[in-house]
Amino acid sequence: MRQEQARDIGLFFLLGLMDERVSLAAAGRAIAKIKATEKSPSDLVEPADLIRVCRESWKVHRRLIPRNQPVEAPTSAWVVPAEIDIAIWARYQKDAPDEDIMTILFSLILGFSDVDLADGFQTSTGTIRYRLGKGIRQLGLVVRGQKSALSPGAVT
């Protein structure tokens, strides 16, 4: 595993769980699991394998974070540019479905392809596109401050 992939995994959990302690524990577990199966430390891990391992670790550690309660923001573990309002993401992440959050993180932030996501999530690319559309629409409404303006038929 290369360091850029370790960075991707760390960012995925920090943004996805928004709790420094749990996020680093989940990321460390995922990285260790990938290291246990890789042939050489210099090889790139297959994206689908990385997504699958991260998803498994997410499911384990997501339970450790209580919903609708304030969490410890990962202030020391990441460097957020001043122009980014991370509170918007925190509001979105608080209520959005896990699968939507993971899909947005892997696709739009970490740049994995829909095919890799479908393989990693063991679903179809159509489902991935649907989750992406739904999630990004909800995120955009949060950015505009109109989360309640979502169409009843559009967001589940």
Token pair belonging to 124: 């179809």
Q: How far is the CB of 32 from another protein (least distance, A)?
A: 4
Contact 112, 47 (CB under 8 A): yes
| 90 sits near another protein (criterion: CB under 8 A) | no
CA distance 126 to 142: 24
* CA of residue 103 relative to chain centroid, distance: 7
Residue with smaller CB distance to another protein, 48 or 141: 141
Residue with smaller CB distance to another protein, 36 or 68: 36
Contact 107, 132 (CB under 8 A): yes
Residue 36 is given by DSSP the state: H
| 97 sits near another protein (criterion: CB under 8 A) | no
CB atoms within 10 A of CB 83: 5
Window contacting another protein (CB under 8 A); options: 47-55, 62-70, 80-88, 115-123: 80-88
Binding residues for another protein (CB under 8 A): 3, 6-7, 9-11, 14-15, 24, 27-29, 31-33, 35-36, 41, 76-81, 83-84, 86, 88-89, 104, 108-109, 111, 129-130, 132-133, 135-144, 146, 149, 151, 153-154
